[in-house]
Amino acid sequence: MLARRFALPFLLLLAAVGIGGALYAQLESNDRGILPLDTSNTLEITGIHVDVGGPDAQSARLAGWRIAQRQGFKMLWAKMHNAPVSEAPNLPDSTLDQIVSSIDVEHDLIGPNRYIADLGIQFDRDLAAPFLGVEAGAAQHSQPMLLIPITVSAGTATSVELKNAWQRAWAQFHTAQSPITYVRISGMGADPLLINAALTHRPGRGWWRNLLDMYGASDILVAEVQLQRLYPGGPARARFIARHGPDDEIIGGFTLTANSEGIPAMMAQGAVRIDQIFAGAMAAGRLTRDPSLNLPPPPVLPQPVEKPAAPVKQFTAIQVQVTGNNVIFYNFAMAHLRTLPGVQSATPQQINPGGTSYILVSYKGSIAQLAAALAARGWLVESAGTVVKIHASGDKPPPIPPPPPVVPAPAATTPQPGAQAAAQPPKAEP
């Protein structure tokens, strides 16, 4: 019974370890990951055929590379100026050696004194620009586009979970001459978990926004190939489809066929033609970012109700200290304070008839103004901070000034009847 109780947890632990090990093995598999070639600063011409003889194999190959460089520059100049190759300028081999960054050998045959090859020439964009008559980087490019390659074979759709010919074609694709700024994924790290075939059908915009921010892109491009074989190891037929945006909008497609050995070349050709479809869609204004990929506007918050400003205090609290020999000094000081202009209130705090009494005064003005007003009444004044000290110069406090005289209002005069009669002229008697 005890063995049964521990059997189920032990089996669950083994299952968890097995699943974790399988997931770790899948993420760390050597069958994943193809690093894209950095061709952002190169211009390439491919398919240059040379057939050169020489005294030995090394001399024949060097002569073939020289010829390929000359032809490649003329073809590149003609392509960029949309002009015939015959109008292209001739550059010396020393200049071509400086502006050529690399030579790709697509196929070659080396004999004792003969060299036959199909070559591709890559030119450094910045160094070749003055000789091509164009400014480096003058071409208009799109916003960064996250490219997701998808291969559908035998009913299974994969992206970068395993190495495949379609991913390799895009990793080796030369992006320098394309107006599309591709963000290509390598398939390493967390790429298979974040970007896969099922993701392209996911409608959630929040997920797409996070993914684009993670890879530094602003939009999505999906390059899909549906591969069908006539029989295992036999000829293949591939349907290429170019899609755009989070809703998988189809913008073009085509079909290519090849034998089993020609599948890598067919995939490379498919990548070139898909790029042309993307470039044509960009020129037609179809590669616009879906507005739903933008962050929604923030919610409108209710405007706070403005509270009326608190009334500004117009009166200053000042403590007046009165020093005198008897209570008369205190009484006179209170009388002076209550009759001063600007004093709102005078409240006794502590009364000490034979010493110092304390009075709290609410005054409309500064402490210096209160001290000056008390000094004008005859008090000896000392002020510091919020305290005014006053005392008399003699044995008696200063007298209280008399109230201002009251001017009587002018009384209305009523005329007397006799006076009015006297003012009238006498009537004449008959």
- The three-state DSSP-derived secondary structure of the chain is CHHHHHHHHHHHHHHHHHHHHHHHHHHCCCCCCCCCCCCCCEEEEEEEEEEEECCCHHHHHHHHHHHHHHHHHHHHHHHHHCCCHHHCCCCCHHHHHHHEEEEEEEEEEECCCEEEEEEEEEEEHHHHHHHHCCCCCCCCCCCEEEEEEEEEECCEEECCCCCCHHHHHHHCCCCCCCCCEEECCCCCCCHHHHCCCHHHHCCCHHHHHHHHHHHCCCEEEEEEEEEEECCCCCCEEEEEEEEECCCCEEEEEEEEEECHHHHHHHHHHHHHHHHHHHHHHHHCCCCCCCHHHCCCCCCCCCCCCCCCCCCCCCCEEEEEEEECCCHHHHHHHHHHHHHCCCEEEEEEEECCCCCEEEEEEEECCCHHHHHHHHHHCCCEEEEECCEEEEECCCCCCCCCCCCCCCCCCCCCCCCCHHHHHHHCCCCCCC
Rounded CA-CA distance 197/241 in Å is 14
Take residue 314 and report the two structure tokens written for it: 């117009």
For the chain, the residue count is: 430
Q: Which fold has domain 316-391?
A: Alpha-Beta Plaits (3.30.70)
pLDDT at 273: 94
Q: Regarding beta strands 387-391 and 316-323, do their DSSP bridges make them parallel or antiparallel, or are they unpaired?
A: parallel
Compare 149 and 33 and report the one with higher pLDDT. Answer: 149
Residue with tokens 């919610």: 299
Span 39-52, average pLDDT: 81
Span 194-221, average pLDDT: 89
Query: Could you tell me the pLDDT band of residue 67, with boundaries at 50, 70 and 90?
Result: very high
pLDDT at 239: 96
pLDDT at 430: 40
pLDDT in tens, 79-112: 878 889 888 889 999 899 888 988 888 888 999 9
pLDDT at 243: 95
pLDDT at 135: 57
Q: Which fold has domain 139-293?
A: Rossmann fold (3.40.50)
Rounded CA-CA distance 252/222 in Å is 11
Query: Could you tell me the pLDDT band of residue 201, with boundaries at 50, 70 and 90?
Result: confident
Query: Could you tell me the pLDDT band of residue 313, with boundaries at 50, 70 and 90?
Result: low
pLDDT at 413: 55
First to last CA, the chain: 162
253 - beta bridge partners?
A: 241
Using the predicted structure, report yes or no on whether residue 1 has a pLDDT greater than 50: no
pLDDT in tens, 130-183: 888 765 445 578 889 999 999 999 888 999 888 899 999 999 888 877 889 899
Using the predicted structure, report yes or no on whether residue 7 has a pLDDT greater than 80: no
Query: Could you tell me the pLDDT band of residue 342, with boundaries at 50, 70 and 90?
Result: confident
244 - beta bridge partners?
A: 221, 249
pLDDT in tens, 232-277: 888 899 999 999 999 989 999 999 999 988 999 999 999 999 999 9
Using the predicted structure, report yes or no on whether residue 27 has a pLDDT greater than 70: no
Using the predicted structure, report yes or no on whether residue 367 has a pLDDT greater than 90: no
pLDDT > 70 fraction of the chain, expressed in percent and rounded: 83
Q: Regarding beta strands 114-124 and 42-53, do their DSSP bridges make them parallel or antiparallel, or are they unpaired?
A: antiparallel
pLDDT at 392: 82
The vertex-87 CA angle with 81 and 89, nearest 5°, equals 90
Using the predicted structure, report yes or no on whether residue 20 has a pLDDT greater than 50: no
